[in-house]
């Protein structure tokens, strides 16, 4: 798993993404807090990331980058709204991670086939596997 600084970087990136539409809804905050708990980051440290960014980290493995992309897809959909700015930013983040453009686009398309647009992890992994072979 990631180092503590990588965990803070993951959360910082997610918070920045949540701010893409200029507001953080309660559902987004709650989702982010849940991720912080999973990453074993205390609430005080988590809340401080809203005011100062953690050092940007590069996720080393493709699996870590896909997991972070998945978290961002879930975050985008937690408020039941997908704004164009969020979709564009998510697409650019995925490309910045070095993920295949076609796989990113497929994930953004198939998410509409699932309740609450929650793409099951196995489906997401299979999409990325298909583009790595």
Q: For residue range 41-68, what is the model confidence (pLDDT) as tens digits?
A: 999 999 999 998 767 778 889 999 999 9
pLDDT at 14: 95
Q: What is the pTM of this model?
A: 0.89
pLDDT at 107: 95
Residue 107 and residue 101: Cα distance in Å, rounded? 10
Cβ-Cβ contacts under 8 Å for 114 (sequence gap 6 or more): 120, 123
pLDDT at 21: 80
- Ranges under pLDDT 70 in the chain: 1, 54, 133
């Amino acid at each position: 798993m990631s180092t503590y600084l990588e965990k803070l970087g993951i959360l910082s990136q997610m918070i920045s993404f949540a701010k893409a539409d200029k507001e953080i809804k309660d559902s987004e905050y709650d989702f982010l807090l849940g991720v912080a708990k999973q990453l074993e980051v205390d609430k005080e440290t988590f809340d401080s990331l809203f005011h100062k960014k953690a050092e940007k980290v590069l996720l080393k493995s493709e699996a870590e980058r896909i997991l972070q992309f998945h978290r961002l897809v879930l975050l985008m959909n937690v408020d039941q709204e997908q704004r164009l700015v969020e979709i564009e930013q998510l697409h650019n983040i995925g490309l910045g991670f070095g993920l295949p453009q076609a796989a990113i686009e497929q994930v953004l398309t198939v998410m509409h086939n699932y309740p609450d647009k929650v793409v099951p992890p196995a489906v997401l992994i299979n999409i990325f596997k298909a583009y790595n072979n």
